[in-house]
Amino acid sequence: MARQDIAGLLTGMPSSRPDPMAMGGNSAQQRLAFGAQRAQGMQRGLRSAMGQGPTPAEQLQMAMASLDLSKPEDLRKLAGIQQATGDLAGAAKTAAAVRELGVESDTRNALAEALDKLGRPQEAEQVRNKTLDLQLAQRIVLDEQKLAKEKAVDDQQRDALMRLAVSQNNPRAVEWLKSNGDVSTIASVLLKDPTLAKAEAFTTMYEGDEALRVGIINGVLHKATDKGWEVIPDDVKLSGTAPAKVTPRKPTSVAVTKEDRRVYSAVLEENEDIEATISSTWGGTDADLKTILIDKAHQIWKNADPQITREAALRKAAEIEEPSDPFGNA
């Protein structure tokens, strides 16, 4: 709402005088206007010198200068001024504007709170700082509430059908529901009512690592192939969720401590065939070969999954097969 010259509206005289030199008319009229302006300035100066202060109209204008008419509290002050000066029609209009601003503020707060609860904090902040249109914000809230209600109904139906599928020992129906497959279509199978089936209701299920496009046709689970739809045999195990991706563990470089070298040296003393093998095949001095062997074995031992013995790590490092168990144990 734009600021207005309230004193001028109430007294019938504008508070800011026009520049005499910018007015029309002849030079005589301009001199008269300029003289009137100087006289008014002198009058204000005399009143100030005599301790009389500004006129009521000037006091009113100074008071109005600090009002922001986009705020309800300042509009209420304006309505009080208008009523005190007898401008009842203006006071009524201002009171109506106050009510309108109050309704808008309440609506804005309610929409922002609703958007926060619906998980839309960005739009909520835009409503608060008045950068999002209220009608658009209301449409977002209504759409989100509709989706939430539909999801709640779907979750209830899916939960009930899941319990029914388990009671009927129907694992494929369970996996269909886990894959977010159509509720009505699986209900047609579990409730043995083909009329419930939804046309062209498909979902994605998994046979091991392979993703299959599947659908229920005449109550039987089919998969899409390059030759068309094929019945999925009963002995094929399907999953409604994608298999977890196993990330292979990357080998890490581990420093060999003095204690580690002592332990490996003790193992080598008990297994002379290991050191003898590398001496004959690798070449180099025994001390260098032993250091290289222990370094390599330690990396194997630390990164082995499942864990192995240090002797086994030494044999792997030397590329020697482990001796067979004389008792025949695996």
DSSP track, 110-158: HHHHHHHHTT-HHHHHHHHTT-S-HHHHHHHHHHHHHHHHHHHHHHHHH
Per-residue pLDDT of 109-135, as tens digits, reads: 898 888 888 888 888 898 888 888 888
Q: Which residue has the higher pLDDT, 12 or 262?
A: 262
Alpha-carbon distance of 270 to 61, in angstroms, equals 106
Alpha-carbon distance of 73 to 53, in angstroms, equals 28
DSSP 255: P
Alpha-carbon distance of 130 to 137, in angstroms, equals 11
pTM over the 0.75 mark: no
Q: Which two tokens stand for residue 264?
A: 């490996």
Alpha-carbon distance of 153 to 173, in angstroms, equals 19
Alpha-carbon distance of 215 to 112, in angstroms, equals 42
- pLDDT confidence of residue 292: 85
- Provide the mean pLDDT of the chain: 76
Q: What is the mean pLDDT of residues 141-167?
A: 91
- pLDDT confidence of residue 37: 58
Q: Is residue 240 a contact partner of residue 181, using CB atoms and an 8 Å limit?
A: yes
- pLDDT confidence of residue 35: 58
Q: Which residue has the higher pLDDT, 63 or 232?
A: 232
Q: Is residue 184 a contact partner of residue 198, using CB atoms and an 8 Å limit?
A: yes
Q: Is residue 202 scored above 50 in pLDDT?
A: yes
Per-residue pLDDT of 243-264, as tens digits, reads: 877 666 566 667 888 888 888 8
Q: Which residue has the higher pLDDT, 196 or 56?
A: 196
Q: Is residue 63 a contact partner of residue 56, using CB atoms and an 8 Å limit?
A: no
Phi, psi of 211 (to 5 degrees): -85, 135
Give the CA count within 13 Å in the CB-facing half-sphere of 295: 8
- pLDDT confidence of residue 3: 43
Per-residue pLDDT of 37-75, as tens digits, reads: 566 566 666 555 555 556 556 656 666 666 776 677 777
Alpha-carbon distance of 179 to 206, in angstroms, equals 9
Query: 121: closest CA among 112, 130, 129?
Result: 112
- pLDDT confidence of residue 135: 87
Alpha-carbon distance of 140 to 143, in angstroms, equals 5
